[in-house]
Amino acid sequence: MTTPILETRGLTMRFGGVLAVNGVDFRLQEAELRCLIGPNGAGKSTFFKCLTGQLKPTSGEVLFRDQNIAGALSYAIARHGMGIKTQVPSVFDGLSVRENVWLAAARVHPGRMAERKAEEAMQRVGIGHIGHRIVGQLAHGQRQLVELAMVVAPEPDLILLDEPAAGMTDDEVDRLVELIKELNKSHALVVVEHDMQFIRRVAKTVTVFHQGAILVEGDVADILRDARVRDVYLGKQAA
Amino acid sequence: MDYVIILALQICSAVASLVLISLGLAVIFGMMRVINLAHGEFLMLGGYAAITAFNKGVNLWLAMLVVAPLTVGLFGVVVERLVIRHLYGRLIDTMLATWGLSLAMIGFVTVVFGNTVSGISAPLGSLTIGAYRTGAYEVFLIFVALVLLAAGWSVLRYTRLGLIARGTMQNAGMAAALGVSPSLVYAVTFGIGAALSGLVGGLLAPLSGVVPTIGAAYIAKAFITVISGGAAILSGTAIASGLLGTINTAATFAFTPVIGEVALLIAAVILLRILPQGITGRFFRRAL
Amino acid sequence: MSRVLPMAGNLAVLLVGLGVLFGLPAYAETYLIINATIFASFAILAVSLALIWGYAGILCFGQAAFFGLGGYTYAVAAINFGDTTGAAVLAVALPAMFAALLGYFMFWGRISDVYLGVITLTVSLILYRFVNQTAGEEWNIGQAPLGGFNGIPSTPILNWPGQPGEQLAPENIFSLAVGLLILVYFGCKALLATKFGRIVVAIRENETRVELLGYDARVYKLTIFVIGGALAGLSGLMFANSVFVSPTMFSLPVSGQIIIWVIIGGLGTLIGPVIGCIMMQVLTNWLGTLNQVPGFGWVDPNLVLGVILVVFVLLVPRGLTALVSDTYGWLAQRLRSRPPTAEPDAAAQPETAP
């Protein structure tokens, strides 16, 4: 087996007495697309925050291209080639769409090149026509798209998407599905989503989080039939 | 031996004075997350209230222990209703507004009382320890600081008011859940914080005298203490006062009072570099 | 609109600046020239805070610390060196270095905005108290007495570079101050238009996102903070050349004034704080004279400044520039939406009214 692009070993995040992430061993291959599902509070977003350096994990390792990045600062991890779309859109509300995306592109590309890459990313997610708008005045779904363009623009090796479809119209979701599939041709992706329809459309392999740990992992069709997964979603205590 | 006692007394006195000048600020910050930049002027107002009442023939103890806190407490409630209430959740704006308030208070008091030092002599005479003498009033203030800390702790720990206060500290919505309007809690808290500042301002007047700009002498230390202390009102203030007061006194003994203050500041800045959330932000999180 | 208006605005600012620079000395008396020099040096101070607070979102309550440090560094170095050129360079460099040290502790400690305000405030207070007690021989630095409460009344005036003794005349100092103000203003504009400037503004908007994009926000904040410190030092240098240095430069009312200029003028603009600064200085000077008028002895500058600050925070939190542009936008909309024939003589009414 090839070396994974991302691997966590015993990743643990403890808040006071609560184990939000509990000894997670997770592997993601190059150019793989993985969906993370699980009920609210299962620790998916916390898991992401440990990967991106927004939280410093209590213990465990995060190997990104064979380098342990656990506890590194988020800017350094981003420079390493990881991009994230956070759960609540994290954008620059006071700036225009174009400026937002440009800031993302300008970190890797100089001068004119950054402008071109930003323009490309905007076209790709379908916000090319609203480049001049101030982001703070956009609808939630559009803000999601802006953040998506910001993630795409610097072309990171690994893309994390936390609930990307939330607040989007059907058209926007369709485009998102296409975009994810296209990105997956050259990038590794981890997608957290609640919408099962959406999961069915994009997923191949699914990892189910429950109470901070991985409950089960496997092919999307098997997982969605799995009784334990259904129980977890319906709130029953897993055996 | 006498020297050791007097040095210990000096340190206790420095610590106590930090506790005293910080307490009102700590209550308002801990409960409401409001940084009251007019805190120094609240102390100043307390001093003027005490001296004015004393000069009008009120008993000195009554003037310091009753008139001063009452005046400033009422003033605090008025300020909360008129200004602070509109700015909850806007931390920076409250800082700016209370700073405006501080300038206005300095200006107003200057207009009324003039820009001169007024004073009253310290009661209780002096205390002799071996070859050294120290003011008995300073020792009394150490005692006051202890009493205020103990009283504050009992109130928070055992009374309904304390329960509501602790609830609000955790979560502002909690007060509403307990059937008390948060608006009332805030008004009362601000009033209590202001009254504490007034009390301390009154108590310190015999030592330092009062002048409209005296607030500036207190606030630097008070802020540093409260912020180094962190989230817990009482233990944070007490621990930070202990630490910084000791450093201050040591540097003052070794060099000059101003070097003492500079040492206090440097210690606090380094402390915040290591513990950005203050001492109780990192340790003793469940303390009061 | 989006491109033409800023260009026109810049041009207008430049023309007014040059007009003052070349016009005023021809007509004004020396007293007015010196006053205008003070205004110009204060305006540089206003720009320094407008930059770090209005654009970078760093609310520094102690900008007066860098201002005072700049002035004192200049005075002490100039007395010791004899020639003032090196002293002038130091007057900018030392506050910048101090800002770097302070900024390192604050930004690498990742302390919050509120704590930052308190720490900067405390630092300037303690500097004020320190300088205030430096009367006496033991506080001489080389040949320069710090002078405690009195400051250094013998602060040397700048000389032509390399020609000690050839002091600049008040008109020259004025031209230098206004010239520097224009340079600083457009320099900051240019800086904000660069990639660096845009990242700084992005940090104000959302620091987390900036970090997630791969920029080390601390470095950017420290850099802009140091630039702000250097500009405040420059302002202190020019102030020292129009008055003389004294501990008041470090004092709380000075820090307060700077914040008032910026909030009155409007956050997120450079011209607003400059206008706010000049307005407030004119007002303060006027209040000072009012003090002498019988019946107005009660007017205290602190009282007025304080009330203005509270009122602005409560009622006009975005400052005059936002107020003006909002009013303009509102008027434009009213005029556009109004049917052409409705109320034909509404506009004429004020003229006919008694």
HEC letters along chain B: CHHHHHHHHHHHHHHHHHHHHHHHHHHHHHHHCCCCCCHHHHHHHHHHHHHHHHHCCCCHHHHHHHHHHHHHHHHHHHHHHHCHHHHCCCHHHHHHHHHHHHHHHHHHHHHHHCCCCECCCCCCCEEEECCEEEEHHHHHHHHHHHHHHHHHHHHHHHCHHHHHHHHHHHCHHHHHHCCCCHHHHHHHHHHHHHHHHHHHHHHHHHHHCECHHHHHHHHHHHHHHHHHHCCCHHHHHHHHHHHHHHHHHHHHHHCCHHHHHHHHHHHHHHHHHHCCCCHHHHCCCCCC
Instruction: State the pLDDT at residue C235.
Output: 95
Answer yes or no: do C300 and B111 touch at CB < 8 A.
Answer: yes
Q: Any residues with CB less than 8 A from the CB of A155 and at least 6 apart, and which?
A: A108, A117, A187
Cα Rg of chain A, angstroms: 18
Distance between CA A105 and CA A99 in Å, rounded? 10
For residue B6, the enclosing domain spans 2-229
What is d(CA C104, CA B277) in angstroms, rounded to the nearest whole number?
A: 17
Q: Does the residue B205 lie in any domain? A: yes
* More confident position, B178 or B183: B183
Task: Give the count of beta carbons closer than 10 Å to the beta carbon of residue C106.
Answer: 26
Could you tell me if residue A12 is inside a domain? yes
ipTM, interface predicted TM-score of the complex: 0.89
Set of chain B residues whose Cβ sits within 8 Å of the Cβ of C253 = 103
Whether B178 contacts B167, CB under 8 Å: yes
The answer to whether residues A202 and A178 touch, using CB atoms and an 8 Å cutoff, is no
Q: Say yes or no for a CB contact (<8 Å) between C126 and B86.
A: no
Terminal CA-CA length for chain A: 32
Q: For B139-166, what is each residue's pLDDT tens digit? A: 888 888 888 888 888 887 888 777 777 7
When the pLDDT of each residue in chain A is averaged and rounded to a whole number, the result is 86
- Which backbone phi and psi does A8 adopt, to 5 degrees? -115, 145
Question: In angstroms, what separates the C-alpha of A233 from chain C's closest C-alpha?
Answer: 31
Instruction: For residue B170, name the pLDDT band (cuts at 50, 70, 90).
Output: low
Whole-number percent of chain C with pLDDT over 90: 32
Structural domain containing residue A85: 6-234
Q: Which of A174, A179, A178 is nearest to A159 (CA)?
A: A179
Query: What are the phi and psi torsion angles at C114 (to 5°)?
Result: -65, -45
- Contact status of B208 with chain C (Cβ, < 8 Å): no
Pairing relationship of beta strands A33-37 and A205-210 according to DSSP bridges? parallel
Residue type, C13: V
> How large is the average pLDDT for residues A79-99?
89
Residue A180 lies in a domain: yes
Average pLDDT rounded to a whole number, residues A118-145: 88
Q: Does C110 touch chain A (CB under 8 A)?
A: no
Helix, strand, coil % in chain A, rounded to nearest 5: 40, 25, 35
Can you tell me the distance from the alpha carbon of C334 to that of A216, in angstroms, rounded to the nearest whole number?
62
Domain that holds residue C236: 12-251
Poorest-confidence range of A45-59, A92-106, B150-164? B150-164
* Tokens standing for residue B144: 């006051």
Q: Average the pLDDT over B214-237 and give the result.
A: 80
> What whole-number percentage of chain C has pLDDT above 70?
90
B106 occurs within a structural domain: yes
Interface B–C counts its CB contacts (< 8 A) at 127
- pLDDT tens figures, C122-151: 888 888 888 888 777 777 787 777 877 788
Q: Alpha-carbon distance C98 to C96, whole Å?
A: 5
Give yes or no for C306 touching B (CB within 8 A). Answer: yes
Tell whether B240 is covered by a domain.
no
Q: Is C211 on the interface with A (CB under 8 A)?
A: yes
Which of B99, B247, B261 to mutate to test binding with chain C, by most C CBs within 10 Å of its CB?
B99
Instruction: Name chain B contacts of C61, Cβ cutoff 8 Å.
Output: 95, 99
- Domain count for chain A: 1
pLDDT at A176 over 70: yes
**pLDDT score of C57 more than 70:** yes
Q: Do B95 and C114 touch (CB under 8 A)?
A: yes
**Kind of pairing, strands B132-135 and A82-85?**
unpaired
Judged by a CB distance cut-off of 8 A, whether residue B129 touches chain C is no
CA terminus-to-terminus distance, chain B: 36
Q: In this structure, which amino acid lies at residue A106?
A: A
Q: Which residues contact B149 (CB under 8 A, 6 or more apart)?
A: B19, B234, B237, B238
Nearest CA among C174, C242, C157, C180 for reference residue C27: C174
Per DSSP bridges, beta strands A67-68 and A213-219 are unpaired
Alpha-carbon span B128 to C166, nearest angstrom: 63
Burial annotation C136-155 (CB, 10 A radius, 16+ → b, else e): eeeeeeeebbbbeeebbeeb
Q: Contact at 8 Å (CB) between C153 and C244?
A: yes
C111 lies within 8 A of chain B by CB: yes
Q: Which chains touch C (3 or more CB pairs under 8 A)?
A: A, B
pLDDT mean across residues, chain B: 81
Each residue's pLDDT tens digit, B76-120:
999 988 888 888 777 778 888 888 899 889 888 888 887 777 777
pLDDT for the residue A171: 84
Q: What tokens appear for B285 in the block?
A: 């999180």
Cα–Cα distance, C192 to C203 (Å, whole number): 13
Nearest CB among A76, A103, A108 relative to C199 is that of A103
**Tally of structural domains, chain C:** 1
Measured distance CA(A132)–CA(A98) in Å, rounded: 6
Residue A102 lies in a domain: yes
Encoding tokens for residue C189?
């504009």
Substitution target in C199, C203, C213 with the highest count of A β-carbons within 10 Å is: C213
Q: How many CB atoms lie within 10 A of CB C226?
A: 22
A66 CB neighbour count, 10 Å cutoff? 9
**How far is C-alpha C58 from the chain's CA centre?**
15
For chains A and C, CB pairs below 8 A equal 64
Residue B174 lies in a domain: yes
Residues of C whose CB is below 8 A from A86? 212
Domain membership of residue C280 (yes or no) is no
Amino acid letter for position A163: E
Is residue A1 assigned to a domain? no
| Strand partners of residue C245 | C152
CA pair distance B138, C282, nearest whole angstrom: 47
Instruction: Report pTM.
Output: 0.84
Q: In terms of C-beta density within 10 A (0-12 exposed, 13-18 middle, 19 or more buried), how is residue C190 classed?
A: exposed
Mean predicted confidence (pLDDT) in A31-55: 87
Q: What is the CATH number of the domain that holds A36?
A: 3.40.50.300
Write the CA distances from A69 to A100, A188, B1, integer angstroms. Answer: 27, 17, 57
Alpha-helical regions (H) of C151-270: 170-193, 195-205, 207-212, 217-242, 252-265
Distance between CA atoms of residues A126 and A153, nearest Å: 13
> Strands A67-68 and A59-64, how do they pair?
antiparallel
For chain C, the farthest-separated pair of C-alpha atoms sits apart, in whole angstroms, at 81
- State yes or no: pLDDT of C341 exceeds 60: no
- C344 pLDDT band, cuts 50/70/90, is very low
Count of CB atoms situated within 10 Å of the CB of B148:
18
For chain B, the domain total comes to 1
Helices B91-113 and C113-132, interaxial angle, to 10°?
Answer: 30
Distance between first and last Cα of chain C: 39
Q: What is the reported pLDDT for B24?
A: 87
Cα separation of A85 and A105, whole Å?
15
The number of beta carbons lying within 10 Å of the beta carbon of residue C94 is 21
Spatial distance between the Cα atoms of C92 and C104, rounded to a whole number of angstroms: 18
3-state helix, strand, coil in chain C (%, to 5): 75, 0, 25
Q: Say if residue A204's pLDDT is above 90.
A: no
Per-residue confidence (pLDDT) for residue C354, from 0 to 100: 37
CB B275 within 8 A of CB B281: yes
Kindly state whether residue B112 falls inside one of the protein's structural domains. yes
Mean pLDDT of chain C: 83
Tell me the torsion sign for CA atoms C206, C208, C211, C213: negative
Tokens at residue B50, please?
């005490």
For residue C57, give both structure tokens: 């979102």
Question: Which residues 188-217 of C have a C-beta within 8 angstroms of B?
Answer: none
Which residues of A fall within a CB distance of 8 Å from C215? Answer: 75, 107
- Least confident span in B172-176, B282-286, C108-112, C186-190: B282-286
Tell me which DSSP letter residue A4 carries: P
